[in-house]
Amino acid sequence: MDDALLAQMDDRLDRLVNLDIGNRGIEPLYVAARAQQGGSLVGAAASALLSVPEGGTVVLTTGSVSRAWISAEIGENDGPSGAAALARALVLARRATVVLVAEDALLGPMGRVFQAAGCSMVDLDAARRANAEGSLVVASKRSFPLTDDEGPAAATVLLDELDPDLLISTERVGRNVNGVYYNMRGRDYGMGRARIDDLFDEGTRRGIPVVAIGDGGNEIGMGNVADQVKSHVPFGADGSCPCGGGIGAVSTADVLVTAAVSNWGCTAIAAAMAVRAGDARLLHSPNAERRLLDVMVAEGLINSTHGIIDDHVDGMAPETHIAVAQLCDAIVHKQLAD
């Protein structure tokens, strides 16, 4: 595909998924992230995912324990479906072994979302055998500890074992400058939360590439645009939360993809991957989005904006999320058809 046409397509995907329908302040973060990247965010992420060696290993994290002071088993519905779409695309495109890392309490429902996306969940050795054979679309999963004391050692052990080629985080709350996890309303969100920042910090020290997707300024990777988070995101400024550090996450990424909803960023990355690979199977289709929204309801994952279990994500109606998938498909359709 002509480089100019590819850049144009990537630009359209970028702009689509950064429409700030929820008025969360994402557009200034997008402008800053794109200037820092020197081009399309979605395109850079797609290229990074497709650069994973054939049969390589990818660590993927998502999942937000949304009301741990009530139950550690209450998780959010922004994140799992997007992560599942990326996992499926990686297995299809690169026969990669994708390992989902999250809290033990959330791995069950999130694993079933992955299954609904087309990824059977098996143990690591079985995943590697299946991917080598090319006989199944599979993924694996691992839990990560919940305390600051355990995190660094667990990160070292896991990275030594998996030796991943890429780390991906989507809609994963990260620590602020004072080591506190905050939600978008400036409430401490650390209770029941796995310290996966440690995994990404250690990965960065080892030179493992990191792709991060976020929509609120408080996610892993948003350290790339820390100044803009302070200026444009509610509770982002110093002094606007109980510890005084603002909600902005300090961890950084090699590629930061901003989006009005993190799931949208994943949908757009899968679309950009499909064009680059010339493989329409990699798309996250509108029908798949509808199916995963229903599965997330069945699994009890909540619409965290309203605090209820329904098929709205970040407070937006399901038709909106399905439409984004449809528009991503429309943006890349001609290139795939040709």
Q: Give the C-alpha separation, 257 to 261, whole Å.
A: 11
- Which parts of the chain register pLDDT below 50? none
What are the angstrom distances between the C-alpha of 237 and each of 214, 223, 262, 297? 18, 13, 22, 34
How many CB atoms sit inside 10 A of residue 217's CB? 29
Quick check: 213 and 239 in contact, CB under 8 A? no
- pLDDT for the residue numbered 253: 98
Look up residue 193 and give its two tokens.
């939360």
- pLDDT for the residue numbered 336: 84
Backbone phi, psi, residue 70, to 5°: -100, -50
State CA 161 to chain mean position distance. Answer: 23
Q: 3-337 maps to which CATH number?
A: 3.90.1640.20
Q: Give the C-alpha separation, 300 to 23, whole Å.
A: 26
Nearest alpha carbon to residue 196 among 243, 157, 164, 148? 148
Q: Give the C-alpha separation, 144 to 78, whole Å.
A: 20
